[in-house]
Amino acid sequence: MQTNELHPDLSLIQNADLNGKIVLVRFDHNVVKGGEIRDPFRIDRTIGTLFHIVERGGRPIMMTHVGRPKDKKTGKIDCRNDESVEPIIQYLEQKLHSKIHVPSFPVEPEKGIAGIDTSINLAIRELRERRIGGIYLPNTRWFQGEEGKGKIRESFALQLAGLADIYVNDAFGSWQAHASTYDITKHLPSYAGFLLQQEIINLSRVLNPERPFVAVVAGAKYDTKIKPLYAIYEKVDRLILGGVIYNTFLCAKYDIKIKGVLDDDIKLARELVEKDRTQNKIVELPYIVESDILDERIEGKYRTISTRGFSPGKSYNYILDIDPKSFEDEQVADAIGTAKTIFVNAVMGYTPHFSLGSQALDHTIDRNSTGMKMYGGGDTLQEFKSLCPGLYLSVMDNANYYFFTGGGTVLTAIEQGSPYGLKPVQALMATEST
């Protein structure tokens, strides 16, 4: 059963009075890597909300986080140039033919930005008087209060609120409760933007899928994906694994060793193996690529092996990709080919050198022309786009495909069983519309 409806308590941007208002809008434009935009998809998906704000007489102040500038252990914030919002502003200015102002605030070495000061007021006046098209704040995670605790966080939320009349959250990918995604809603009338709304509606197709439902999950780390993986396992009819997650599973299932797979993770994976002994949902990709070296793909140094040759106690070198032959296997082809819903959060191989597995996966999924195909995650999309550019372009507007702008958000929503448990979304339900 699918629902195209949003929870009635969610405050929607279309119900806000925007005329003449300064609108603080939080996007997830976290698309900058090494100082360059990797894929503008997340920016493009928010243009509708921006247009709506301006069209209805609002004046936008935009913000996003970029990267993870705060060191979790030391608490230090590193405001590196290659994690600035500059490339995003250049992209927007070019696309919108508009002038966007980026205020700058003093940066304390290793501490980040203390807060928003009154130097921004002049720009806000220019924004009101339409001499500039918008203001874009520095990377939210450069501010001490964004992820901080206590007073510093509270005053950052208040400073943000002081800039605007209304807050809009259109940052689907940013599910973590931070000052700019969560605390701010205590101080301003707050609404869900159009991208957030659309993503929530589409989430219901994953949460209440048409069956058979197949998920393809891969990832570089086993421990952080284990919880959502269990939640996915409960929901699916068939589960296909790739990447380190698959290698870990194989080690636990066949009692083998694979280079780079951690013993602790193998212990964790035994639970999944046990579960699957009775429920039998995991479809094995039988042909995998073993390589003697990690960072290159050198003829003679890698080979395809079969899981059917595994026996207890055997050791293998790195397993870095899925051999495309795996997708011709009857069970695999049948699982993917007959699915009514397919959710993919997976890069199958060790990029950039081992990518044939992901490529074959995308093409195999595409051959299922009637199923709903849902992709989630920045890396997953990036791989799809760079490995199968023609296919990616041709399916962008295909109604049987949907691309989420946040993979972590989808996984968290699956884990919680609902998008309304995500704290930034919850916060838009508590506030009253004006």
Binding site residues, ligand 3PG, CB under 6 A: 28, 30, 68, 173-174, 176, 378, 406, 408
Q: Which two tokens stand for residue 175?
A: 């599910």
Question: Which of Mg ion, ligand 3PG, none lies near 176, with the C-beta cut-off 5 to 8 A by kind?
Answer: ligand 3PG
Number of separate helices (H) and strands (E) present in the chain: 16, 20
For 413, the 3-state DSSP assignment is helix
By CB under 5 A, the residues from 358 to 417 that bind Mg ion are 408
Report the residue number, 103 or 406, with the smaller CB distance to ligand 3PG.
Answer: 406
Question: Which of Mg ion, ligand 3PG, none lies near 174, with the C-beta cut-off 5 to 8 A by kind?
Answer: ligand 3PG
Minimum gap (Å) between residue 378 Cβ and ligand 3PG: 5
Report the residue number, 29 or 253, with the smaller CB distance to ligand 3PG.
Answer: 29
* Bond preceding residue 212 cis, omega within 30 of 0: yes
CA–CA distance, 219 with 297 (Å, rounded to integer) = 20
Question: Which of ligand 3PG, Mg ion, none lies near 406, with the C-beta cut-off 5 to 8 A by kind?
Answer: ligand 3PG
If you write DSSP's letter for every residue of 218-236 in order, what string do you get?
Answer: EES-STTTHHHHHHHHHH-
Minimum gap (Å) between residue 112 Cβ and ligand 3PG: 16
Cβ burial of 238 (10 Å; 0-12, 13-18, 19+) is: buried
What's 118's DSSP letter? G
Backbone φ, ψ for residue 356 (5° rounding): -65, -30
Minimum gap (Å) between residue 51 Cβ and ligand 3PG: 22
Report the residue number, 357 or 408, with the smaller CB distance to ligand 3PG.
Answer: 408
Residue nearest Mg ion, Cβ-based: 408
Minimum gap (Å) between residue 376 Cβ and ligand 3PG: 10
Interface size with Mg ion, residues (CB under 5 A): 1
Backbone φ, ψ for residue 101 (5° rounding): -100, 135
Starting at the edge strand found earlier in the chain, the sheet holding 372-376 runs: 238-242, 213-219, 341-345, 372-376, 401-404
Question: Which of Mg ion, ligand 3PG, none lies near 28, with the C-beta cut-off 5 to 8 A by kind?
Answer: ligand 3PG
Minimum gap (Å) between residue 408 Cβ and Mg ion: 5
CA–CA distance, 133 with 129 (Å, rounded to integer) = 10
Q: HSE (CB half, 13 Å, CA atoms) of 172? A: 29
Report the residue number, 139 or 198, with the smaller CB distance to ligand 3PG.
Answer: 139
User: Which amino acid, residue 391?
Assistant: L
Report the residue number, 176 or 317, with the smaller CB distance to ligand 3PG.
Answer: 176
Minimum gap (Å) between residue 30 Cβ and Mg ion: 8
Write out the residues near Mg ion by the rule CB under 5 A. Answer: 408
